[in-house]
Homo-oligomer: A and B are copies of this chain.
Amino acid sequence: MDQSKLQAILEALLAASDKPLSVNQLQELFTGDIDLPGKDEIRQAIAELQQKYTGGGFELKQVASGFRLQVRAEFESWVARLWEQKPPRYSRALMETLALIAYRQPITRGEIEEIRGVSLSTNIIRTLQERDWVRPLGHKEVPGRPTLYGTTREFLDYFNLKSLNELPTLSEIRDIDQYNPEFEFNDEPEVVAS
């Protein structure tokens, strides 16, 4: 593989990945290709990329677990304005997916799609994993070996729950519904710390 193509592929990988990538990990991503680049070639290409980003809006940084592209700190005052206006909200699709994972774990993406009757975009589960609320538990031993998902300790912490048992059951939710159409709890309002 010529050096400029290798450099472009590495740039694509580093830009797309949401986690830092080590030289080993990067090399593994070429597995199966005819010309597997050597580690030195990869290091060389990374050095060239670092050079290339000089003076730009982001840089290629080495952190403990590998390399990652990150916005240069000097531009943070502009970048911060991106979120100043409106507080972000999760989509209904994401909330329902989270609820199904919480209540029906372990569950596969296909099962979620079947219950919801619509196909699920890949970034929903990714967002939930990035938030550390959802994690893969293993694979279901059916054709395709789909990943099984469940909730995390952080999920319970966020919602102030000691265990999943504390999640109200469906009939309890419906009871609450009847008494209180606006869906607010009578006794203690659950104030969720962010």
A13 to chain B, nearest CB (A): 6
Asked if A119 contacts B109 (CB within 8 A), the reply is no
User: Using an 8 Å CB-CB cutoff, how does the interface string of A4-40 with B read, 1 for contact, 0 for none?
Assistant: 1001111111111100000000000111000000000
Contact pick for A119, options B30, B117, B127, CB 8 Å: B127
User: Using an 8 Å CB-CB cutoff, how does the interface string of A108-127 with B read, 1 for contact, 0 for none?
Assistant: 01000000011111110111
Asked if A118 contacts B130 (CB within 8 A), the reply is yes
Q: List 19 contacting pairs A-B, 8 Å CB cutoff, sorted by A.
A: A7-B56, A8-B72, A9-B57, A9-B78, A11-B56, A11-B57, A12-B57, A12-B58, A12-B78, A13-B82, A17-B82, A29-B78, A29-B81, A30-B78, A83-B122, A84-B136, A85-B125, A118-B123, A118-B130
Residues of A near any B CB (own CB < 8 A): 4, 7-17, 29-31, 55-58, 69, 71-72, 75, 78-79, 81-93, 109, 117-123, 125-127, 130-131, 136, 147
Contacts of A87 in B (CB 8 A): 122
- Docked pose: A79 CA to B122 CA in angstroms: 14
Asked if B55 contacts A4 (CB within 8 A), the reply is yes
Contacts of A118 in B (CB 8 A): 123, 126-127, 130
**Further pairs besides A4-B55, A83-B122, A88-B119: 14, Cβ < 8 Å:** A8-B72, A9-B75, A12-B71, A12-B75, A12-B78, A13-B79, A17-B82, A30-B78, A31-B81, A84-B147, A85-B147, A92-B130, A118-B123, A121-B131
